[in-house]
C-alpha cells in the first residue's frame, strides 16, 4: 500500500473516531440537559403521537433518560461503525452525527417541552417544534462535519491509467473534445418519490389545519426537499478539459471531478438495488460512489487512489471515450 492510500485510510479512520466521539458527546449532553429539569417533568411523558396529533405512547419519567440515551446513541453509532467497516468514515461519520443530533433533539426536546404539564396537557402536547428544530440542526451539523472531513484533492493529480481497449475518440490532438449528456431518469424513482411526497405533503396540510405549525413546517419542507431531489435526478453531465461535472437545476452540483484527478474511464452496467442499494447519491461495499438514477450502462471514473465514481448517463460509451481522450492528452502534455 502506497503512502497516499495509507493517508486516505487514516483519514477515514480519524473521521469515524471523531464522529463516534461527537455522537457520544451529543447523546450525553442531551440527556444531561433533560436530567437538569427532572423535578419539573411529569410522571408519565408522552413519547409517541398518533396521526390525529394526540399522544398514544407514554414512558415513566424514571425510564426516559436511559431510553433517550439508548435511542439517541446506539443507532447513530451503528451508522458510524458501518462507515468504518466500509472505509467510508468521511461520509457515514457525519451522517451518524447528524442522526444523533436529530434523534437526541427530538426525544429530549419533546420531553423537555412537557415540563410542568398536567396529565391532560401531556396527552395533548405537540412535538412539532422539537421535530422541526432538531431536523434542521441535524442537517446543518451533518453537512458541516462532512465539509470538514471531505477528501482534499491530491496535489498534482493522479497518473493516467487508460486501458488499451478502453473507448477513445479518433480525433487529432488540436481538435477540441467535449461531451454533454444527462443522467438517465428512471420512472421507478418517481414512483418512490411520489409516495414519499404524498406521505409528507398530506400530513403537512393536516398539521397546519390542526394548528401544529412546527410539524406542519417540517413535513412541508420534507415534501419540498423530496420534490427538488426528484427534479435533480435529471442532471446535466459535462465532460471537458476542466473535468467531469454533474449539475442539476443549475444549482445542485452532484459531482465535480477535475481532469487531473481522473486516471481513466470505463463503461459498466448498474442495477441500482443490487449494486448500490437504491437510487440517488450512493456508495457501496466495493468502495464505489455513485450517482445512480436508473438501471443500465453507466460511466465509471477511476480516480486513482480515490474511490471510483459511477454515473448513470445517456450514452455512457461516448462519455467514457471523451474522458479517456482528454486524460490521454493530459498524460502526453506532461511527458
How high does pLDDT run on average in the chain? 87
What pLDDT is recorded for position 1? 41
Confidence label for 317 from pLDDT (cuts 50, 70 and 90):
very high
Q: What's the rounded mean pLDDT across residues 226-239?
A: 88
Do 234 and 248 form a contact (C-beta atoms < 8 A)?
yes
pLDDT at 265 exceeding the cut of 90: yes
pLDDT of 77-116, one tens digit each?
999 998 888 777 888 899 999 999 999 999 999 999 999 9
What pLDDT is recorded for position 2? 42
Mean pLDDT: which of 156-170, 185-199, 238-252 is highest? Answer: 238-252
pLDDT of 6-46, one tens digit each?
455 677 889 999 999 999 999 999 999 999 999 999 999 99
Do 313 and 299 form a contact (C-beta atoms < 8 A)?
yes
Q: What's the rounded mean pLDDT across residues 155-161?
A: 73
pLDDT of 51-67, one tens digit each?
666 788 899 999 999 99
The C-alpha cell at 312 is 448513470
Exposed, middle or buried, 306 (CB in 10 Å: 0-12/13-18/19+)? Answer: buried
Overall pTM > 0.85 = no
Q: What's the rounded mean pLDDT across residues 242-270?
A: 90
CA 82/CA 174 separation, integer angstroms: 48
CA 281/CA 272 separation, integer angstroms: 11
Place of cell 452525527: 97
pLDDT at 298 exceeding the cut of 90: yes
Amino acid at each position: 500500500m502506497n503512502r497516499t492510500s495509507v493517508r486516505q485510510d487514516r483519514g477515514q479512520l480519524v473521521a469515524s473516531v471523531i464522529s463516534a466521539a461527537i455522537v457520544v458527546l451529543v447523546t450525553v449532553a442531551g440527556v444531561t440537559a433533560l436530567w437538569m429539569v427532572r423535578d419539573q417533568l411529569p410522571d408519565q411523558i408522552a413519547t409517541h403521537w398518533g396521526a390525529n396529533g394526540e399522544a398514544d405512547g407514554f414512558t415513566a419519567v424514571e425510564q426516559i433518560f436511559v431510553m433517550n440515551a439508548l435511542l439517541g446513541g446506539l443507532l447513530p453509532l451503528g451508522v458510524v461503525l458501518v462507515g468504518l467497516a466500509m472505509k467510508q468514515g468521511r461520509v457515514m461519520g457525519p451522517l451518524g452525527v447528524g442522526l444523533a443530533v436529530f434523534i437526541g433533539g427530538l426525544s429530549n426536546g419533546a420531553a423537555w417541552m412537557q415540563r410542568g404539564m398536567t396529565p391532560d396537557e401531556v396527552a395533548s402536547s405537540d412535538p412539532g417544534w422539537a421535530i422541526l428544530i432538531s431536523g434542521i440542526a441535524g442537517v446543518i451539523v451533518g453537512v458541516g462535519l462532512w465539509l470538514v472531513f471531505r477528501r482534499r484533492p491530491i496535489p498534482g493529480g493522479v497518473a493516467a491509467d487508460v486501458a488499451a481497449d478502453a473507448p477513445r475518440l479518433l480525433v487529432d490532438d488540436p481538435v477540441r473534445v467535449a461531451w454533454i449528456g444527462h443522467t438517465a431518469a428512471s420512472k421507478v424513482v418517481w414512483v418512490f418519490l411520489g409516495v414519499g411526497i404524498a406521505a409528507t405533503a398530506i400530513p403537512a396540510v393536516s398539521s397546519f389545519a390542526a394548528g401544529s405549525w412546527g410539524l406542519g413546517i417540517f413535513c412541508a419542507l420534507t415534501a419540498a426537499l423530496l420534490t427538488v431531489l426528484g427534479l435533480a435526478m435529471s442532471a446535466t453531465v459535462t465532460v471537458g478539459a476542466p473535468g467531469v461535472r454533474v449539475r442539476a437545476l443549475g444549482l445542485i452540483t452532484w459531482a465535480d471531478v477535475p481532469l487531473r484527478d481522473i486516471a481513466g474511464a470505463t463503461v459498466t452496467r448498474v442495477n441500482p438495488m443490487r449494486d448500490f442499494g437504491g437510487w440517488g447519491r450512493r456508495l457501496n461495499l466495493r468502495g464505489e460512489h455513485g450517482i445512480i438514477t436508473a438501471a443500465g450502462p453507466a460511466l465509471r471514473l477511476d480516480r486513482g487512489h480515490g474511490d471510483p465514481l459511477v454515473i448513470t448517463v445517456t450514452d455512457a460509451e461516448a462519455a467514457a471515450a471523451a474522458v479517456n481522450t482528454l486524460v490521454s492528452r493530459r498524460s502526453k502534455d506532461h511527458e
